[in-house]
Amino acid sequence: MKVLVATDKPFAPVAVEGIRKETEAAGNELVLLEKYTEKAQLLEAVADVDALIVRSDKVDAEVIEAAKQLKIVVRAGAGYDNIDLAAATAHGVVAENTPGQNSNAVAELIFGLLIYANRAFFSGKAGTELKGKKLGILSYGNIARHVARIAKGFGMEVYAYSRKQDFVKEGVQPVGSAKELFEKCDIISLHTPATPETKKSINYDLLENIKKGAVIVNTARKEIIDEEGLLRLMAERTDIKYLTDITPDAVDAFTALEGRYYATPKKMGAQTQEANINAGIAAAEQITAFFTTGDTTFKVN
């Protein structure tokens, strides 16, 4: 079997080595397409592969259609909104993700962003501390669990609003609505996956009564933000900050909000050696399991 790793944003070399080792030990061939600039390169590379490993790379209907031999695509990561699941299903392709494997990396970056912003972007001006602050988590999954653990280490009070309430046993306090979370908390970390239902769900109505001086951190997806609504709020409320590792569509308007907005130059929450190794090797192992035993534990379509 031929396994393609197609990553516009490459894994750390040590992770690629691990993926190669796992793939070749299973008797399969590994091919690499990294830092490609044109979709045509991806379309050509997928033509004769049986399995595909990607990160945020777009696997749309055209890619699925071009991959005539494809049996399985694994998104080495959590969010699989980059894969056209209907097209995969229509072509008999199994789609999987590797939940939890890169979560700690994203959680750690959140605190990096928070300390940077709360210490006046390292300008030397007096900043604020995390200790004693209320942290609100919107949607409680694998990353949120790590965020809550780290926040407790900083001495923060942790609250969450999520469809599943399984966080209470982890010492995280529930609130009654997403709106209440924004009203109550000093820092709100967004962890909502991008789906048709959640698109632009972080809107003006939800944020209207946000707590004075609150900081919103988005390491989830830009699609969940109603950028117009957030910009309107930030124009009216000069006390609000927005931090993210995903470049917004209205990047110029956000950049103009000097001292209240920061985005990393590239999406980098999951960009650590550890996360690359964990997610990349998990993807390779899931492919081996699929070809050897038909295992589809992590199937999402």
Binding site for ligand 3PG (CB under 6 A): 9, 55-56, 77-79, 102, 267, 269-271
For 262, the 3-state DSSP assignment is: strand
Chain position whose Cβ is nearest to ligand 3PG: 77
**Residue closer to ligand 3PG, measured from CB, 108 or 208:** 108
**Residue closer to ligand 3PG, measured from CB, 109 or 210:** 109
Neighbours of 236 (CB within 10 A): 10
Q: Which two tokens stand for residue 5?
A: 């790793």
Q: What are the φ/ψ torsions at residue 284 (nearest 5 degrees)?
A: -65, -40
**Residue closer to ligand 3PG, measured from CB, 9 or 260:** 9
Q: Which two tokens stand for residue 298?
A: 């992590």
DSSP states along 45-80: HTTT-SEEEESS--B-HHHHHH-TT--EEEESSS--
Minimum distance between the CB of residue 55 and ligand 3PG, rounded to whole angstroms? 3
**Residue closer to ligand 3PG, measured from CB, 133 or 267:** 267
| Residues with Cβ within 8 Å of residue 93, at least 6 apart in sequence | 64, 67, 70, 71, 72, 73, 301
Helix then strand then coil, % of the chain, to nearest 5: 40, 20, 45
**Residue closer to ligand 3PG, measured from CB, 23 or 56:** 56
Q: What are the φ/ψ torsions at residue 289 (nearest 5 degrees)?
A: -60, -40
Minimum distance between the CB of residue 104 and ligand 3PG, rounded to whole angstroms? 12
**Residue closer to ligand 3PG, measured from CB, 184 or 191:** 191
Neighbours of 68 (CB within 10 A): 11
| Residues with Cβ within 8 Å of residue 227, at least 6 apart in sequence | 248, 249, 250, 253, 254
How far is CA 166 from each of CA 51, 72, 169, 194, rounded to the nearest angstrom? 35, 31, 7, 21
**Residue closer to ligand 3PG, measured from CB, 149 or 222:** 222
| Residues with Cβ within 8 Å of residue 40, at least 6 apart in sequence | none
Which stretch of DSSP H or E encloses residue 199?
none
**Residue closer to ligand 3PG, measured from CB, 83 or 156:** 83
Rounded to 10 deg, the angle between the 273-293 and 13-25 helix axes is: 10
